[in-house]
A and B are shown apart, each in its own frame.
Chain A
Amino acid sequence: MTMRADAPALLTESASSVWTTRLARLVPPVFTFAALAFLFIPIFVLIAYSFNASRSTVVWQGLTLDWYAAVLDDRRLRQAVMNSAFVALFAGAFSAAIGTLTALAIVRRQFPGKEMLSTALLAPIVLPEIVIAVALLVFMVALKAPLGFTSMIIGHVLVTLPFATLIMRTAAVALDPRLEEAAADLGANEWQTFLRVTLPALAPAILSAFLMAATLSFDNFVMSTFVTGVGSTTLPIYIYAQLKTGLTPQINALGTLLVIANMTVLIAVIGYQFRLRARRQRLSQ
């Protein structure tokens, strides 16, 4: 009797527990989706307001393309974008180059102080950037070196090198040492092995390291604000300086153009890696 009385209760309980499990299973995707939406919605808002006819970045007043004209028309803004691109290109290249050589040294060679070097390379990630920036500024001043593009590129290499090195270390670890041994067996000297075997095998990782470093450099504000000099005002510094007179949708228009530029690079890189993989597959067949 008691059993029978209990049975339906048990049934509903297990049914409800099925529902709870199902609901529970829904939580991670819903939560993930909400979090991603939260991250991406501002970008869509940014793009939408770049077409705003009002000069406010919060009050909607109608459609216009004027802000895009304003971006193209603004010589200081164009100069700042050029400066940012210039610094990012060189900082990215130096970071990728130094990062590659450092990673190969740490992964392939034995030398005293190796552990210390690989730990020290992480220091710029752990230390607040502002501390490194002040240190570099003081150092440049002590050397009586003028501030400008050179100090900007040095500063950005300092900030981006740990990331480039991390990427290159992962790639170097994954690189089969037998490839290099085989090259040496076939009579290649160390230089030829590096140029013809190691470097091509690491090329995709080097490209990633370069893009990572260049992107970080393009966005950099803290280091830049300390070590910038005559004529080297980059985009983040310029935008921040504009806060005094108020931002206009011109910044949104510029942001939209940058998003498009980033997407183009991203798609190009993915396409390149896709082609590379296809070619390798063809070669291995």
Chain B
Amino acid sequence: MSSFVSWGRRSVLLGAVAFGLVFGLAVSGPAHAAGELHIYAWSGELPQEIVDDFEKETGITVTFDTFDSNETMMAKLEAGATGYDIVNPSQYAVQILAKKGLIEELEHGKIANIGNISEEFRNVSYDSGNKYQIPYLSGSTGLAYNTDCVKEEVTSWKSLWDEKYKGRIYMLDNMLAAYIAGLQVNGFRASSTNEAEIAKATESLIAQKPLLAGYNSTNFADLVSSGEACLVEAWSGTVIQVMAENPKVRYVLPQEGGTMWVDGFSVAKGAANRDNAYIFIDYLLKPEVAAKVTKLSKIATCVGKSRELLPPEIANNPAIFLPKEQVAKADFILDAGDAMKFYQDGWTKVKTAQ
């Protein structure tokens, strides 16, 4: 009897283990089945409609996962065994991922539409010749202000240090973004790796702190739209959403340059569905597809020809498509390498300053 009982208990355990295994297999599924594509991308940049269209046209089943920052995405890839085919890194992340061998050198022969990439994005400093990333969506980091409160025309980062707006200014709650203003207001490049320059920027950011209402990178656009904030350091893609609703909100790239960001697509090392990844990238580079992306997400693509296909209120919106000469002047945030330590130490000082 007792042996029967213990057998019974063991069988329950075995049953549970077996169930777990079967279940595990059932959900992980056949990862290498034909006609699949696993994309790991920013949320809100590549609309689902584009993915739906692509699935309909090609019959490829797309799995679309989203990440909240380049750092999260890089940590995932670094851990290995992710199963993603396409990732969506920003410029500095491309440098880091390429250096670590986590993304593949692109086979341009498989991308028929590669010629559709605009001239100014073909030889970007972080990835010359589009070796690792097909640049796709771009925007800028600049200044947004509310004309109810700011009567003058804002042209410089200096306005973020203006006593007049004390308590009505927000800076982006993001280290590298805050340093764009800190460095450029002193006449340095936003991608500086010079210790003395970064230290000077740190001083400026600390000096600015008493004027700030806070650091905010989530609803700064709402705050400037409601008039709670007069002036904010802003990402263009976020501000554009409130500008459609509130004509009092303006967006400018300051005369010191501001920065551009470029999110593009790279093929993850060892991608299981490599061919489908190239089919997808090629699809995105069609002008009519790129135009649809911009229409839905209000973000400019790097496919120049798409601009002609857009209605004038989008094609001529300076917050979406920046003037060419401003694009040429803007800095890219790049991988700071060893200088990252200066930024981190400085940012800690800024954040803890009274």
* B218 within 8 Å of A (CB atoms): yes
Interface residue ranges of B268-327 to A (CB < 8 Å): 297
Q: Which one of A24-32, A112-120, A234-242 is at the interface?
A: A234-242
Residue of A nearest to B16 (CB): A97
Choose among B8, B28, B72 the residue that contacts A150 (Cβ–Cβ < 8 A).
B28
Report, as a range, how many residues of chain B touch the other chain: 35 or more
* A147 within 8 Å of B (CB atoms): yes
* B338 within 8 Å of A (CB atoms): no
Q: Smallest CB–CB gap between A69 and chain B, Å? A: 15
Q: Are A245 and B241 within 8 A (Cβ)?
A: yes
Cβ–Cβ < 8 Å partners of B79 in chain A = 137-138, 141, 147
Q: Are B66 and A230 within 8 A (Cβ)?
A: no
Interface residue ranges of B218-256 to A (CB < 8 Å): 218-219, 221-223, 225-226, 228, 235, 237-238, 241-242, 245
Supposing A189-B5, A233-B66, A237-B66 touch, asked if A246 and B245 sit within 8 A by C-beta, the answer is no
* B27 within 8 Å of A (CB atoms): yes
* B194 within 8 Å of A (CB atoms): no
* A123 within 8 Å of B (CB atoms): no
Q: Are A59 and B225 within 8 A (Cβ)?
A: yes
Q: Are A57 and B222 within 8 A (Cβ)?
A: yes
* B155 within 8 Å of A (CB atoms): no
Q: Which one of B37-45, B103-111, B206-214 is at the interface?
A: B37-45
* B84 within 8 Å of A (CB atoms): yes
Q: Are A229 and B83 within 8 A (Cβ)?
A: yes
Choose among A147, A231, A245 the residue that contacts B63 (Cβ–Cβ < 8 A).
A231
Choose among A59, A137, A233, A245 the residue that contacts B44 (Cβ–Cβ < 8 A).
A245
Residue of B nearest to A191 (CB): B8
Q: Are A75 and B218 within 8 A (Cβ)?
A: no
Q: Are B66 and A241 within 8 A (Cβ)?
A: yes
Report, as a range, how many residues of chain A touch the other chain: 35 or more
**Considering the chains assembled together, what is the distance between the CA atoms of A244 and B66 in angstroms?**
11
* B165 within 8 Å of A (CB atoms): no
Residue of B nearest to A233 (CB): B65
Cβ–Cβ < 8 Å partners of A190 in chain B = 5, 8-9
Q: Smallest CB–CB gap between A144 and chain B, Å? A: 6
Choose among A191, A231, A244, A245 the residue that contacts B38 (Cβ–Cβ < 8 A).
A231
Instruction: Give 1 or 0 for each of A202-239: 1 = CB within 8 Å of chain B CB.
Output: 00000000000000000000000100111111000110
Cβ–Cβ < 8 Å partners of A56 in chain B = 219, 222, 225-226, 242, 245
**Considering the chains assembled together, what is the distance between the CA atoms of A74 and B76 in angstroms?**
26
**Considering the chains assembled together, what is the distance between the CA atoms of A76 and B82 in angstroms?**
20
**Considering the chains assembled together, what is the distance between the CA atoms of A150 and B64 in angstroms?**
18
* A258 within 8 Å of B (CB atoms): no
Q: Are B4 and A189 within 8 A (Cβ)?
A: yes
Cβ–Cβ < 8 Å partners of A189 in chain B = 1, 4-5
* B125 within 8 Å of A (CB atoms): no
* B48 within 8 Å of A (CB atoms): yes
Supposing A244-B44, A244-B68 touch, asked if A57 and B27 sit within 8 A by C-beta, the answer is no
**Considering the chains assembled together, what is the distance between the CA atoms of A148 and B79 in angstroms?**
13
**Considering the chains assembled together, what is the distance between the CA atoms of A86 and B39 in angstroms?**
21
A-B contact pairs, 7 of them (CB 8 A): A56-B225, A58-B219, A59-B225, A237-B66, A237-B68, A244-B68, A245-B237
- List chain A positions with a Cβ less than 8 A from chain B: 54-59, 74-76, 90, 97, 137-138, 140-141, 144-150, 189-191, 225, 228-233, 237-238, 240-247
- List chain B positions with a Cβ less than 8 A from chain A: 1, 4-5, 8-9, 16, 23-24, 27-28, 31, 38, 42-45, 48, 52, 63-69, 72, 76, 79-84, 217-219, 221-223, 225-226, 228, 235, 237-238, 241-242, 245, 297
A74-B48, A149-B28, A190-B8 given. 17 additional CB < 8 A pairs?
Answer: A55-B241, A56-B222, A57-B219, A75-B52, A90-B23, A144-B81, A147-B79, A147-B82, A189-B1, A189-B4, A229-B65, A230-B38, A231-B65, A241-B42, A243-B68, A246-B218, A246-B241
